[in-house]
Structure 1
Amino acid sequence: MTSNNNNKTVPVTILTGFLGSGKTTLLNNILNDSTHGMKFAVIENEFGDVGIDEHVLSENVGEEIIEVMNGCICCTVRGDLVTALQKLHKQVASFDGVIIETTGLADPAPVCQTFFVDENIRKLYHLDCVVTVTDAKNILARLTDIKPDGVENEAEEQVAFADKILVNKTDLVTAETELAEIEKKLRALNPTASIQRCQQAKINPKDVLNIKAFDLDRVLEFDSEFLDEDQEHQHDATVTSVAMRMETDINQTLMECWIQRLISEDGANLFRYKGVLAVKGMDCKFVFQGVGMLFTGGYSDIKWKADEKRESRFVFIGKHLDHELYKLGFEACRVDQPLRFAVGSLVEANVGGYVKAKVLKQWDDGNAYRLEIQNKEKTNVWAPVDIDNYIRATAVNYN
């Protein structure tokens, strides 16, 4: 028996996978791919009270995007998911489907259960496929995480409920034997799901969309209580999210130094982090993300719109995080005060020693100042931060 597929209900694809596996990248690839010719609504879920992904998702999305915030979609906000699906139906009845991207800490079971135990949702939607994205570099470690008594391993649950498993980031695993070991472990947890390798979550969207893969009988074989609405589960209380939002530009150099310090000190405990930053002097959004000590970041092709509020936001998810430290560090990177030196001012720039320089521009390419060294070549340099370590008032009168 499969899910109640019929022409009157809207198919739903659930994207799950542990933090940092590549779910949002996969979703962007699907939304940017014009070959499938399908139109979807997207429901996003963040673990925390500050959303990131609506700023990261492709701007090619002409469809509906709904965020279900402040918790795990399998727990505290499940009622919000039902409400969102009910409100969304009139707009998406003619769509090709709905894609739900869950937080990396979600157990897929209650999400899947929604489409069977809620009578109203059953009449409107059917569950088409559960796609689990795994990170080839980290999945074996996640599957063997030691959890407190009574606490489930979310990575295991995500693999067990999958109809399709993507082994992503295979370029980070050099040995074929290691990939074979990963697939062996995945098949031990889920013998029936198809497994597909990929890099940067690049696949043919038709491999995961509207493939009628969800089989209720298979799920009931390994979870006989799947349809029991009274099921409860516990998350690891040591895993928390710290998130912050500021309606101000930030100094890129200070931010990068701060993030590098966090990664070097907390890297082993960081499951996932990402952010979208409004950098002073830059029109494009700075987007960063990472898992553990693997950090990537840079300016995207998406510019801040003229009528869009420039704001900077981040979320870090991991074990034993010092929330106050993270927030204070982020606050220290904000750009609220006017710069000390006006354009045309003569100053001293530190280029391995202090030399005479002239301020050509404030906030240039993300740096506090663009300076012209007062030498024969008129060399241009940047002062990234408005502090004496980089730029200071002249010690002598150069006029």
Structure 2
Amino acid sequence: ENEFGDIAIDQKILSENVNEEIIEVMNGCICCKVRGDLIDALIKLYKKVETFDGIIIETTGLADPGPVVQTFFAETNGDEKIEKMYKLDGIITVADSKYIVKRLDEEKPDGVVNEAIEQVCFADKIILNKTDLIESKDELEAIEKRIRQLNPQAPIFQCQHSEISPKEVINIGAFDLDRVLNFDPYFLGDIKNPKHDQAVSSTSTKIEGEVNIQLLDNWIHRLLHDQGEQLYRYKGIIAVKGRDEKYVFQGVGHYFSGKFSGKWGEDEARESTFVFIGKDLNLKLLNEGFKACRQTDELRFTVGTLVEANVGRYEKGVVIEQWDEGNAYRIRLKGGREIWAPVDIDVYVRLPVDGKQDQ
């Protein structure tokens, strides 16, 4: 499992539900920064080859598959060990129906790889997921047509919640080196060192203590309204005040889901973690916003305080209630309109910059 951020989320979920061994390759893209860690992990696992049927490499969604695939060929790897140990079975690409065309058509700076295109082109099979989010059959057909322009040979499986028979993705014998050489004649040349879009970044944080679930929900929904288009992926595990179960959330773009799943262990620290990946992210806002969702009874502003609320621009108003429907504040603006500040940070509500406490 390859995580782009420096905190693992999936591993904490998976390890509770499966008996298989999970090795984390952390804090970087497996196709470049931590590729050496992948080779080390494969060599380590081979010592236990009698105990498993195969290895599944789950890369970060920002990975170029080319360098990962090159790992299994001595011509590019410069070392025969991996090629003698393993046979590449197939490359499976999971495409988000709602966003795949946008990602394929995204213009990148000169010399920067479009990872979505590479992932579609290299795929031996494509899982077109979240088809329930597509409004019409014609739109779905257009999405498939766009994918087939890049990869006309790979079978496309439509599904929801990534529900697909394991026989379609494991022991399929689908990898075809000749097909890869057709679209990338220099594949067996030098190891690829893809240049990624520097505007794409990730941030992750871990906080001790419990989170107010209503605050978190309100903050996430405000965040998606303001920055949903910039959020490629986000996920977290939350310790919620008053609940023994872990709250697991994840999302892509404007689409968010969360549920309680699995209990905290008796000796397990109740801490909350999240990872956000996206383009042109305000990393300070994400970290401060998440930390402001911690359970607390103390807020900065009392009822009656004159403040400035962010409604696209800062407008003066007065705090009329604290903890209103789970939001930190309810504020009446100067014109009479009432709005919420979901969490208690300056991005949403602050003291007037002119220092005046009058309307």
Instruction: Report the TM-score range of the alignment, normalised by the length of the smaller protein.
Output: 0.7 to 0.9
In 1, are the aligned partners of 2:129 and 2:162 still within 8 Å (CA)?
Answer: yes
Give the letter for the 1:83 counterpart.
D
Give the Cα–Cα distance (whole angstroms) in 2 for the partners of residues 385 and 132 of structure 1. 39
Q: Assess if the C-alpha contact under 8 Å between 1:166 and 1:197 holds in 2.
A: yes
Which of 195, 203, 207 pairs up with 1:234? 195
Whole-angstrom distance in 1 between the partners of 2:23 and 2:269: 19
Report the secondary structure of 1:115's partner residue.
coil
SS in 1 for 2:128: strand
The answer on 1:225 being equivalent to 2:186 is yes
Instruction: Name the CA shift for 1:281/1:385 in 2 (closer, same or farther; >3 Å).
Output: farther
Q: CA RMSD in A?
A: 2.2
Structure 1 runs (4+) greater than 6 angstroms displaced: 385-389
Structure 2 gap ranges (5+): 299-322, 332-359
Number of residue-to-residue matches in the alignment: 303
Please report how far the alpha carbon of residue 58 of structure 1 lies from its aligned counterpart in structure 2 after TM superposition: 6.3
User: Counterpart in 2 of 1:258?
Assistant: 219
Q: Is the 8 A contact 1:251 1:385 kept in 2?
A: no
Give, in angstroms, the shift of residue 387 of structure 1: 9.3
- In structure 2, the partner of 1:331 is 291
* Aligned residue identity for 2:251: G
Partner of residue 54 from structure 1, selected from 1, 11, 16: 11
- Provide the residue aligned with 1:115 in structure 2: 72
> Could you say which residue in structure 2 is the equivalent of 1:321?
281
In 2, the alpha carbon distance for the partners of 1:278 and 1:228 equals: 49
Q: Partner residue of 2:21?
A: 64
Note the alpha carbon deviations across 1:112-141, whole angstroms, 9 max, x for none: 110113421112111101000111111111
- Candidates 168, 172, 177, aligned match of 2:133: 172
**Does residue 229 of structure 2 align to residue 268 of structure 1?**
yes
Q: 2-side partners of 1:327 and 1:123: how far apart? A: 45
Q: Structure 1 counterpart of 2:151, which letter?
A: N
Change in Cα spacing, 1:115 to 1:219, as seen in structure 2 (3 Å) is same
Q: Residue 311 of structure 1 aligns to which amino acid in structure 2?
A: E
Mapped partners of 1:60, 1:95: distance in 2 = 17
CA distance in 2, matches of 1:131, 1:388: 48
Contact 2:131 2:158 in 1 (8 A): yes
Report the structure, 1 or 2, having the larger strand content: 1
Aligned to 2:265: 305
Tell me, in whole angstroms, the C-alpha distance in 1 between the residues paired with 2:162 and 2:57: 16
Show the counterpart of 2:110: 149
Alpha carbons 2:201, 2:277 under 8 Å: kept: yes
Inter-CA distance 166–388: structure 2 relative to 1 (3 Å threshold) = closer
Q: Report the alpha carbon displacement of residue 92 of structure 1 after superposing the two structures with TM.
A: 3.5
Q: Secondary structure at the match of 2:56?
A: strand
Letter in structure 1 aligned against 2:59: T
Q: Aligned partners of 1:383 and 1:234: how far apart in 2?
A: 46
Aligned equivalents of 1:310 and 1:92: distance in 2?
36
| 1:132-190 deviation line (CA, Å, top 9, x unaligned) | 01111111111100111111111100000000011111111121111211111211111
Cα offset, 1:57, TM superposition: 2.3
CA gap 1:235/1:81 in 2 versus in 1, 3 angstroms: same
Partner of 1:213: 174
Query: Is the 2:237–2:247 Cα contact (8 Å) retained in structure 1?
Result: yes
SS at match of 1:45: coil
Matched, 1:104 2:61: yes
SS in structure 2 at match of 1:97: coil
| Matched AA of 1:331 | K
Structure 1 gap segments, 5+ residues each: 1-43, 341-368, 370-381, 390-399
Q: Which amino acid aligns with 1:139?
A: I
Residue 205 of structure 1, CA deviation: 0.6
Which structure has more relative contact order (CA 8 Å, sep 6+)? It is 1
For residues 387 and 177 of structure 1, do their structure 2 counterparts lie closer, same or farther at Cα, with a shift above 3 Å needed?
closer
Once residues 86 and 107 of structure 2 are traced to their aligned partners in structure 1, the CA distance between those partners, rounded to angstroms, is 37
- Residue 386 of structure 1 and its aligned partner are, at CA, apart by 9.7
Give the alignment's TM-score, normalised by structure 2.
0.80
3-state SS in 2 of match to 1:63 = coil
Alpha-carbon contact 2:97-2:131 (below 8 Å) kept: yes
The amino acid of 2:69's aligned partner reads C
- Partner of residue 87 from structure 1, selected from 13, 34, 44: 44
TM, length-normalised to structure 1: 0.72
Q: Which range moves more in the overlay, 70-79 or 88-97? A: 88-97
SS of residue matched to 1:158 = helix
Q: Is the 8 A contact 1:143 1:155 kept in 2?
A: yes
* Equivalent residue for 2:91, pick from 130, 137, 141: 130
What does residue range 336-351 of structure 1 map to in structure 2 within 5 Å? none
Separation in 2, partners of 1:385, 1:176:
40
